[in-house]
Each structure stands twice: as C-alpha cells, then as structure tokens.
Structure 1
C-alpha cells in the first residue's frame, strides 16, 4: 500500500512547494478546503498551515485531511497528518523533513513514519523517502507528470501492499516482507505497475480459504495492468520454500529454486491463468492453463505437458489433487509423463506414459509394481490403442503376478480390447471384459466380467494372516460394477474348502479404498467337513457335515456390524470333550440330561444327532439361538447313544465384544481375523 501513500504525499508536497515558491516571504499562510481533487486522488476536510520556522530558517508545514481516497490503487477513507520543515538547500532545491501519520491504512502502513522530500524544479523531479521501523520506501516522480512514479521498497511488510493488491483480487496479504523496484502509472480507469521484486516469508489468503500461501520466498519480475473490467498479471519468478494453495492444488515448495512463469487475468473474482509453466527439477515440470472460479474451486485444468518424478512430485504437489479424488495417501516411486484436461471440474482427457512406476495405497489395500506402458483416453475423441502392464499387483494383500492388457478409448469409454489372465496364488483371474468411464462423477464408473480358477486357499489364507484352509477358490463373476463409490458383484464366488463349498452372493463393497470400507453380502455353507474345519481352528474335534447361511452380512472397516447366521450339522457324528466345553462357553450354557461333570471327564468323545447354533447381530447385541427351545434356554447339541449328551444355551442376548472374546478363547487366539 506504500506506493499509494508516497504518491499521495508527493502530489501534496508538490502543491505545497509551488505555494512556498510563490510566497516564501509571506508568514502565517493557512489554507482550508472542503474537497480537493487531484487526478487520481480526492481529499476532504483538508487544512494546511505554513509558518516561518522558529530558527528563522525555512517554513514549518502542517497538513491534515479527514479523508483521502485513491480508488485506482485501492486506498479509501484514510486519515492523513503531515508535519515538518520546508527549506531550500544550497542548490536551490526545496527540502522537506518531517513525519507522516496515516490512519486506517492496510497493515498499519505509515502509522508513524519519517519523511524526507526533495523537490527540484530545474530537474522537474520530486524525490520522497519514507521509513518506519525496518521498512524503507523511495519514490521519484516528475513534477509535470505526477501520475508516473519510480518506487523502491526495502523490507516492506506485505500487508502494506493490500490496497494495490485489492485492485487485482479479493484476498489479503498476511505476513512477510517485500523488496521491489517498480514503475507505477496511475491511469484514468486503473493502474499499471511493472518491475522486480523479492519475497521473504510472505503469506496471503482469500475469503473462501481456497487461495492461500504461507512462508513463500523468492525473486522475480511482475507486471500488473488493473482496469475497471479486470486485471492482467504477468509473472516470472524463482520461488524457494513455502506453501501454496490454488483450489484443490496444494504445493509444498522445496528450499531449492522452483521456476514459475504465468500470465493471468482476473475478472469478477475469477482467475484464469492462460500461460502456466513450472519447473521443479527433481519433482515436476509442467506447461498449460489453470482456472479458479469465484468461490475458489478448480474450474479448469489443462496440462499440455507434464513430467512427474516420484516420490517428490506427490509429496510436494500431488496430495491436494489426489485427496479431492478420494486418495488420502499414496506411496509412489518412479516417473510418469503425459497430459491432462479438466473443464468445469470434469475430466475431459488424459494420456499417461511410464517406463516404470510403483504405487501403493496404505494398509495394502491396493498396490502395483513395475507399471509400464501407456494409456490414452478422451471424453469426445477416439484414441489409438495402447498397452499397459505391470510386474506385480496387490489387492487387499492378495499378490497377483505380471500381466499386460491392450486398451482403447472409444466414445468416452476406455475398454479392454481382448481378455487377459492375471496369475493369482497358483491359479488365475481371467479378465474377460472391462469398461471404464473416467469422466463419470456418479453412476457406473466401471464394469467388468471375471473368472477365478484354481486359486490355492492355503496361500490365500497366508496372505490374509488367517489359519490355512485347504482347498481351491474359484467362481465366475458375470458382472462386477463400480457404481458411484460402490463395487457391486453379480453372480457369485464359490470356495471349494473343507471338502465342501462356501458360496458368496449379492456382495457389495462401498468406499473400497477409503478408511472404512463397507462390505455386504450373503454366504451359504454346503457340506463342510467338520473334522477338517475344527482341526484348523483348534476348537476341539467334531465330525460330520456342516451347512447353513450367513445372511445380511455387513462389515464396516472389516468389523461385523450386522448379520443373521444359522449353522447346523444334522447328519450325526462325534464331538470331543474340548468341543463340548467350547460350545458351552460360546452359548453361555451348561450340560443337560443328568450328565455330571465327573462323568463327562470319563469320555473323550460323544455321539450326537444334531448340532445347531444361530446368532442375529444387530448393533452390538447378538441374539442367540440353536436347534430349538429347551428348558431355561435353547438346545445347541442333541446327543445320540450313550453317554447321552445334550448342551443347552442359556443366554439369549450376548453383546458382540463378549461373544468375540469367547470365540477367541475357544480357539486359543488362532482363529481367522478379518483384516
């Protein structure tokens, strides 16, 4: 804001100099004016007093104004008071030394500053020097053209420039200091400024908080042309350190030099950067255009060329943009080049090429090693086919082998040209078809059909940290869709485990890559060998065949929150003493039918006719049941033969954490854990 104050002051002192020149011999001159208008400035309630100095040398000058306005430079409603001594030097120049106090200036500019002014009629110049604490400003302007000034600023608080900045955008400078050498012209409808600058820890923000900076340092050249219908900005800068926020684009600038060049236009709060070039040597190079709407949102992004090197590119520039796309954190290694275009917040086109890129989301949710090849997509134009593959792929900790597919963009849809197979745990995942809609903000984003064959269940369990089940995993998925932020599975998966089958149908997975994914579905159990099953979990031995269902299953962050489970073994078999104790513990029950604990210890196994247990989980409460009603509870085990064993469950309502602790204790902590 200092350019405004010095320019205002120069105009006033030029007028006073002319008065003193014409009537220096006169004493006690006093001038009052309700309004004084000078091109580019207007003052009201102005008073000027000129008296001979006490030592007889020069004149004492006092000038005040209740209000001073310079609209072109964003200064309004300033109070002004100027005091000092005006005298001639040995060269015949008028010299003024004194103080100036402005009231209401942005950042407290010139609230109590010293001033030194030299007016040289022969040279047609006025030179003004102002200082306040560490800030210093020097202004030189011709007497016959006071609308033009050469300004040098040293250690100027950035907040002092708020008036000038307000003619360009609605934000405000907050911290830091500025050095500059500028040429300033006040025009009839605006202002033009150009020159060199240096920033030291400068901060700024905007009303919506979407355009901001903090601790920015650097040097460069700046040009501003502010008119009534908007402002144009040209910037060529070398930045070192600090943080920048432009809509969803966040930059954590490094300490080394980053080159930035841009040409921008502001109008009615909107920012359009028509020329954008940036070079951070070890992280990111780009060239293109950028648009920010009046509310601070990213309205347009067109990078005609970019080259990113990871992990530096993500750490310094990628976090904000990827977070807006739903990716909270990313571990990346390698490089990628290409172009990208967004309009009105919607993706319009992209092209990516990489010779080797490793990407991973936290917690093993998704990762790819050695991504190589290219992909080319457009929302409107058909693009040539490309090939993209990887060395290794991980999905929820399940390792997948190397694969490569051929892709083509047609009618805004990125499609797989022909099926390909992905090795998975000694089996295969065959991708029979895949269509991706990159521009879809809602609705169907992805559709694919899959076939899974001969996946080793032991390896699958090891990958998830479960006890090892024996068997094979396989199934067909005629349609898997990614709709909004939800994966929907049509068809089903069939797990051939424990010499039986586990069928999964109706599965959906919401927020699959978020912090708390939500899984729903139904599970059917068919003819599982209980001897194999109980041996894996160390539950105690039970023989026979198990069937049942887990309907309405709902997991939030992989923790069960709802289901209706019913498990039954109704073909008879044997049950060990340990299994009896564990079933009794889980059901919160006891032994029925007159069999005493001392007799129970005499037998290692017992015959049974039926075993049944059910649990309906709603919230944190599990409603327990079994084969049917029994005295004081529900039957869990119906014995067969001698000794005749019946197990009764007495607790109908069990809180879920308690039931989990019982199951964990029953299996000695070796059971499967959903991760």
Structure 2
C-alpha cells in the first residue's frame, strides 16, 4: 500500500516534465535542482535528463534524486533512480517503459523494479504498473487530482508497507505477502485508505512485545485514517492459522475460519482497541475493548461478553492469560460464559456462569470436577447473590467431595454468605468464613477461617504418599490470609494426632502456585503417643509421650532448607532393641558402657528415663545434639532400671542428605546404616 501509493507522484512528476518537452518537440533537456517541493513530496539533489531515444522513437528519460521524502506516507531519506523511454502509442497516449530503483525503502521496496506509465489526457487518467520479482502493483489516478489513487497489489511483501504503518503505529511488519484493492487519498495533514486485502503468512511486532502476529493468513476489509492529532485502523477480517498476541491475549489460530474485528486508535503513543470482536465457533466468542500505555503495557481490558468452550478455548486462547497469572498447564472441558473488566492491571468486575466445567492443573496441585453455578463480583457495585458448587475438588492430591457455596459481592469484597462443609477423607473441612478482594493489587487478598473434623489419617497419608498413620485428624485455623503472593496463618493451626497435639504457628507459604513454593513456620509437639507414632514406621517400638519443637522451619519446593528441631520424651517408657539400633545409627554413635553390647543381644526391650535428640539444619549440614554432653559426644537415650542402657551420639556435624538416608533406612526396615 505505502510504496505503491508513493510511486505515482514521483513518476507523475517525471512524466510531466517529459510530456511538456515532448509536446514541444524538444530534446536534450537537462534540469537540476537543489530542492524541489510539491504538496506531500520533497526531493533534494535532483537531476532530470531528457533526450532523443537512440532508436529514433520517443525520448530517453532519466531522473535521480539524492533524497526523496513523503512524510504522510512514512517515507524519508530515500535515494531515487528512474529511467526509461517515453513515446506515444497508436491511441495517442503517452507511454513510459523503464525501471525504478529506490535506496533505503522499507523491506527493500523497488530496489530494482520495472515500471510502465500510461498517460491518457483525453480520459484524464494516469495508470502506473510496477513489478519486482513476484510482487506487482497497479495504480490509477486522475491527472488533475493526483492525491487520489486506486491501487491493486499482488504478492506485495508485507515489509514494503512499513512506511505507511509507521504513520499510524510504532510496530513493524516482519514477514509474509499481501494482496489488496484500495482507494487512497493524500490529505494535507495525513492519509486515508480503505479497501479489501488478503494475507499470506504475514508477521508483525509491536512495541514492548505486547502486540504481535506470526504466519497469519486470511483476508477482509481495512480502513486507515492518519491525521496530525491521531491515527486509526479499522479491520474486519477472516483469519486462517497463525499466531496473534494482543496484550494478555495470545491466540494460536486454527486452520478453519476465525472472524476478527478490530478498531485501533493511537494518540500520543497510547494505543486503544475500542472495538474487539472474535468469533471462533468451537472455542471462543468475545466482544470488548483493550487499551495500552505508550510502553505497551495493558491499561484497560473490558470483555462485555465471552463464551469459552474447553479444551479448545484454553489451547488456542487461554495460555497467555493464565501464564500472566502465574499458572501454566491446564486440562479443561466444558463451557463457561461471562464478562470481565480490568483497569491498570487490576480487576474491576467479573462474572461467570457454567452448567458443567472440569479444570485441573497439569501438575495435579489443583483440580475441580463438575463446577456449576455462577459468581458475580464488582469493585464498585452491589451484585446479587449467586451459588457455585462442584462434584469433586482436589487440592495437592487430597480429594474433596461435593459442595455448594453461596456468595455475595459487597463493597468490592466477594464474601461467603454462610458457612458450608466440604467432605474430606471421611471427615469434613468446614469453611466458617471467607472473603476475597479481587481488585487488591497488593496487601490482603483473601481471608478465611477453617475447621477440620474427623479426617481419616490413613487416607490423608496415602494421598500425600506418606506411610499410613492410624487415627483421625482434627484442628482449627482461626484465620488464614492471602497477602500479596503469600499465605499467612494468623493465630495458629492445632491438629489432634497420635493422641496428642501438633500446633503450627507463624506459618507462611510464599508463591503457593509457583515452581518453588517457600513454607516457613514453627511447630510444637505436645504429648504425642510414641507407641502410636512408631507403629506407623518400621523403626522399632517406643512407648511414652513425646514433646518438642521445630522452630524456624523453612521448606523450599517442599524440601527442608533450614530448621531448629528438638525432640524429648522425658516421662519414661520402654524402647525396643530395634529402636535402639536405629537411634544409634541416626546419631552416628554407639552403645555406652562395657557390657551393654552383650546385654543388648539378650533383651528385646529396655526401660528408659529420657530420650532426646536435636538437629539444627543450616545449608546442607545438620548440627546434632541430645540430652546433654557425654564422653566423645552427646547422650540420646538415658536408661532406667536394669539392664541400664545408654545410647551416645558421636557425630556433631552430619551431612543432611546422609541423615535423610539413615532415617529412610531406619524406617524402611533395612537396619541401621552408619557412615
């Protein structure tokens, strides 16, 4: 469009010179000019030569210019060379056949092209035909109104249109070819163009990487209007295949027809799409608008209506949106309709309704089956109450049963209307309260209080891949908050396990849906029944009650990075021979006292007064300790009664991975391993 529309004016200027001298039957004319200006065109360092043709027919015409500028078309600092033969045909028309060479034109346009110009004074028309390689263009315009042209393009490289694109957009064309039939008008302060086009493998890049396309094919209608105070592009197209990026929307277009309508406006570097309509029959329909800052960042998004059918909607259009939200990889089926708006990167309203939707993250962290109902939220308006339920829910591989919750949006907060219960592993998770602030760019986004009752421990452990504990799990979470990208446990979580209690306080979980979540907190153990606890593992039996703490716990990607642990059983009890051996291996120690090795072989269980073991993990090294110092180490088991047994640990500093291997060997029944 751009290169072709510029050529008629350059060529018309040359032909006008030639026609004037030809009609006067003169030759041997040479004209030079430092600068030549006509409306919309300026040339400097210009030289025009007209002479009789060596064949005796017509005139040889040659024009050169060191620099040619046409600001309205986005062409600047072009070198120009034009030469050929001008003659009359049998109909009395002037015909120019020759070549044109431009230097510095976008995409190498007209670097070496043939040109044919037919000037018909009787019909008041000038026709220009150009061809370079597989590209061709025909231009027709009135001789008395050269600012208006009818243009036909065939196989034009998309890069040749860069000049015109630059007048309405700061992006660039990168690949592909274009066919078009256009009407073009050069105005005093800009340009207007309208017509039909076809694309074959076209690509483009926008500023900041937020607008782009690749291998796009299809066709439609295009309108361009460029003025000093702003530019606009209106597009109604049918696309088949290729990739398209519009801010957070990334489209992997199918081979079948997809209808796309766009209205693009630019002003002072900002770009808006006040009219956006996409229709992909088996995947997605949406209508709305987008806005971008001068830096290419999304400033506004409004979808007045969308209808998504999965899995096609996610595979073709949803990956970019979820990736921006920190989620990657989704398995989905079903259908959802709704609307949403965003301002400055934050939601201001959304609503969705579905009769049946299944969703699951590819890493199995979250999943929901049979989602049904509706939800309606606004940052500024009161919205009617809605209900949303599901058939099954999975959170970190823990299965949850069917439930339904009532919601209401008020004051910018989406709140639970009343408590509801979720069946979990033969027990219940009761959601006592929940409030969500979707518009919060930072600070508290979610707050909830929960209670667990009668959760089957064996089933819970199987879901997490742990050895099965017997009994039930219960507890309460007075307040759980989601602040920024971090889950915070306000107050504490108290779990009733092994006939005792595990209290978790100060817990935070950063980047919960990222690749490397970070968990921190403090854990206190109160009166755990060691008989029940050791029966779970093949460690050996110990009776009594266990107390302890695990302070400053830090897990990265669910693996321990640091902690300070101290475990004590100080109420006495019995310990089996196997448990003694395993405690010895964990501490890297041995049996204290001369006859104890022999005694150990004669008795299956021993009485103890106290058991204590501590570990402070920092980096990859665990600093070990016990009840107190002993000769060459620290005491782990202090015996009671006869035979009296004492277990001493000798290794103060133990490689963490070595310690883990020892614990695994001890609990998997492989016997003690000391390294």
Name the TM tier (shorter chain). Answer: over 0.9
SS of the residue corresponding to residue 208 of structure 1 reads helix
**1:63 touches 1:83 (CA, 8 Å); kept in 2?**
yes
Aligned to 1:629: 629
Q: Detail structure 1 runs of 4+ shifted over 6 Å in the superposition.
A: none
Asked whether 1:8 is paired with 2:20, we answer no
Asked if the contact 1:595–1:645 (Cα under 8 Å) also holds between the matched residues in 2, the reply is no
Count residues with an aligned counterpart: 670
Q: Deviations over 1:600-635 (max 9, x none)?
A: 333333322221100011222111000100011111
Secondary structure of 1:9 counterpart: helix
Instruction: Give the distance between the partners of 1:191 and 1:444, measured in 2 at CA.
Output: 51
- State the distance in 2 between where 1:642 and 1:418 align: 61
Q: Does 1:439 align with 2:439?
A: yes
Query: SS in structure 2 opposite 1:467?
Result: coil
Is 2:242 the counterpart of 1:273?
A: no
Does 1:40 pair with 2:40? yes
Structure 1 CA distance, aligned partners of 2:543 and 2:414?
52
Alignment of 1:259-338 (within 5 A): 259-338=259-338
Q: Is the 8 A contact 2:18 2:61 kept in 1?
A: no
SS at match of 1:272: strand
Q: Is the 8 A contact 1:35 1:45 kept in 2?
A: yes
**Superposition pairs for residues 194-233 of structure 1, below 5 Å?**
194-233=194-233
Q: Whole-Å Cα distance in 1 between the matches of residues 371 and 231 of structure 2?
A: 45
For residues 331 and 442 of structure 1, the distance between their equivalents in structure 2, rounded to whole angstroms, comes to 29
Q: Which runs of 5+ in 1 are unaligned?
A: none
Question: Once the two structures are superposed, what CA deviation does each residue of 1:576-618 show, in whole Å capped at 9, x if it has no partner?
Answer: 2222221111111111111364553333333222211000112
- 8 Å contact from structure 1 (residues 551, 563) kept in 2: yes
Deviation at residue 490 of structure 1 after TM alignment: 2.6
Report if aligned partners of 1:193, 1:223 keep a CA contact under 8 Å in 2. Answer: yes
Corresponding position of 1:339:
339
Residue by residue over 1:305-359, the C-alpha shift from the partner in whole angstroms, topping out at 9 and shown as x without a partner, is 1101111111211122222222223222111101111122221111111101111
Counterpart of 2:410?
410
1:670 CA displacement: 9.9
Q: What secondary structure is seen at the aligned counterpart in 2 of 1:578?
A: helix
TM-score, normalising length: structure 1: 0.97
| TM-superposition CA deviations, 1:171-220 (whole Å, max 9, x none) | 11111111111111111100000011111111111242222111111101
Q: What displacement does 1:495 show?
A: 2.8
Q: Is the 8 A contact 2:286 2:306 kept in 1?
A: yes
Partner residue in 2 for 1:652: 652
Quote the offset at 1:361 in angstroms.
2.1
Query: 2:77 matched to which residue of 1?
Result: 77
Cα shift at 1:109? 0.6
Partners of 1:4 and 1:195 in 2: CA distance: 14
Distance of 2:475 and 2:223 partners within structure 1? 65
User: 1:28 Cα deviation (Å)?
Assistant: 0.9
Question: Secondary structure of the equivalent of 2:491?
Answer: strand
Residue 566 of structure 1: how far off its partner (Å): 0.8
Deviations 1:127-166 (A, max 9, x none): 1111111111111111111111111111111111100000
Deviation at 1:17, TM superposition (A): 4.0
Residue 157 of structure 1 is matched in structure 2 by: 157
Report SS of the residue matched to 1:167.
helix
Q: Structure 1 stretch 640-649 or stretch 545-554: which is displaced more?
A: 640-649
- Aligned residues of 1:523 and 1:549 also touching (Cα < 8 A): yes
Which stretch has the larger CA shift, 357-366 or 558-567?
Answer: 357-366
Per the TM alignment, residue 272 of structure 1 is displaced from its structure 2 partner at its CA by 1.3
3-state DSSP of counterpart to 1:666: helix
SS at match of 2:160: helix
RMSD: 1.6
For residues 489-542 of structure 1, the C-alpha deviation after alignment (integer angstroms, 9 at most, x for no partner) is 233333332232222222221211221111122222222222222221101222
**Superposed CA offset, 1:228-259 (max 9, x none):** 11112111000111111222221111111110
Quote the residue 1:167 is aligned against. 167
Contact persistence 1:593–1:644 (CA under 8 A): no
Q: Secondary structure of the residue that 2:363 maps to in structure 1?
A: helix
- Structure 1 distance, partners of 2:280, 2:590, is 72
Provide the residue aligned with 2:545 in structure 1: 545
C-alpha separation between the residues in 2 aligned to 1:74 and 1:410? Answer: 52
Paired residue for 2:23?
Answer: 22
Deviation at 1:18, TM superposition (A): 2.7
Match of residue 64 from structure 2 = 64
Displacement of 1:459 in angstroms is 1.2
User: 1-side partners of 2:641 and 2:388: how far apart?
Assistant: 65
1:519-598 alignment to 2 at 5 Å?
519-595=519-595, 597-598=597-598
The answer to whether the 8 Å contact 1:202/1:213 transfers is yes
Bigger CA drift: 571-580 or 349-358? 571-580
- Tell me, in whole angstroms, the C-alpha distance in 2 between the residues paired with 1:510 and 1:27: 84
C-alpha distance after superposition, 1:99-134 (max 9, x if no partner): 111011011111111111111111111111111111
Supply the distance in 1 between the matched residues of 2:502 and 2:463 (Cα, whole angstroms). 19
Task: Measure, in 2, the Cα distance between the counterparts of 1:357 and 1:560.
Answer: 37
Query: Retained in 2: the 8 A contact 1:616–1:624?
Result: yes
Could you list the per-position Cα deviations for residues 609-668 of structure 1 after superposition, in whole angstroms to 9, with x for gaps in the alignment?
A: 221100011222111000100011111111223333211111111121111111111112
| Structure 2 counterparts to residues 313-462 of structure 1, below 5 A | 313-462=313-462
Q: Partners of 1:309 and 1:592 in 2: how far apart?
A: 71
Shift of 1:91: 0.9
